[in-house]
Amino acid sequence: MNSGFFLKFVSGTNHYQPMMELKQIIDRRYVLPEDSLKKLQACMSEVAFPKGFHVLEIGKVEKDIFFIKQGIVRAFTLVDGKEITFWIGKEGATIVSMNGYVNDEPGYETMELMEDSILYVLKRQKLKELFAEDLHISNWGRRYAEMELLDAEQRLISMLSAIASERYRELMEKEPELLQRIPLGSIATYLGITQASLSRIRAHVK
C-alpha cells in the first residue's frame, strides 16, 4: 500500500478503492508546521459528487481549488468537436482552472469525474488571506505551484519525445490501475492516439 493512502472496500465489487486524507495531500508537496497545517485544514471542506459530474467546465469561471480524497478525474478540451483528454488525476491530485484562479476568466478545460468521488475544496479568497498572514502556507503554495508546473512539463516532454507504445508502457509501469479505472477511449486520447491504435498496442504488449 502506498504511503499516505487508505483503502476503502467498495460495496458490491471485488476491489478496494484508494483514499488519501487531507494531511497526506498537503504534506506530499511541502510539510507544514502543525499550527500552519491546522489553519489550512480548517479552511477546507469536504464535498462528494457522482460519476460524470463536471467539477470545472469549458467556458465557465471557477476560482476555487479542489483536491481529490477519493476518485479519479479526467481533463478534456474540444478539438474539432471531439473530446481530447490531456490530463488524468487520481487520489491526491489537484483540480484547478488556472485561467479562473489567476485571471478570473473562463477555463478552456472540462474536468469530469470518472468515479463517484470525494473532494476537498479550498476557496481562493481564503487561500490568498492565508498566504498574506502565514509565511509557511505561502511557501507551501509556492512549492505546490512549482511541482504542478514540473509535472506539466514532464507530461509535455513525454508527449513530444516518446512514441505511443512507449507512453503506454510508461503508463502501465507507473499507474497501471488507470487502465481499469478509465475508459479506453479516454486513455487513447490521453496518449495522443486513436482507440484502434491503442487496441493494437495493447495486443502487441500482451
Phi-psi region of 92 (alpha: psi -120 to 50; beta: other; left: phi over 0): left
Strand partners, 113: 73
Q: What is the pLDDT of residue 54?
A: 98
**Domains of the chain, start order:** 5-134 (2.60.120.10)
What pLDDT is attached to residue 125? 95
Contact between 127 and 144 under an 8 Å Cβ cutoff? The reply is no
pLDDT tens for the chain, 206 residues long, are: 333 444 444 444 444 568 999 999 999 989 999 999 999 999 999 999 999 999 999 999 999 999 999 999 999 999 998 999 999 999 999 999 999 999 999 999 999 999 999 999 999 999 999 999 999 999 999 999 999 899 888 888 877 777 888 889 988 998 888 888 999 999 999 888 889 999 999 988 86
- Model pTM? 0.85
The angle formed by the CA atoms of residues 76, 116 and 107, to the nearest 5 degrees, is: 30
Closest CA to 23 of 45, 43, 38: 38
SS3 content of the chain, % helix, strand, coil (to 5): 45, 25, 30
Give 95's strand partners.
Answer: 66
DSSP 14: S
The residue among 125, 139, 127 whose CA lies nearest residue 32 is 139
State how far the Cα of 51 lies from the Cα of 117, in Å rounded to an integer: 7
For residues 192 and 189, give the distance between their C-alpha atoms in angstroms, rounded to a whole number.
5
Given this model, what pLDDT does residue 165 score? Answer: 87
The reported pLDDT for the residue numbered 7 is 44
Residues 6+ apart with CB under 8 A from 145: none
pLDDT of residue 18: 82
Per-residue model confidence (pLDDT) at position 2: 37
Contact criterion met (CB below 8 Å) for 97 and 66: no
Task: Return phi, psi of residue 60, to 5°.
Answer: -115, 150
Q: Return the closest-CA partner of residue 138 out of 58, 68, 61, 40.
A: 40
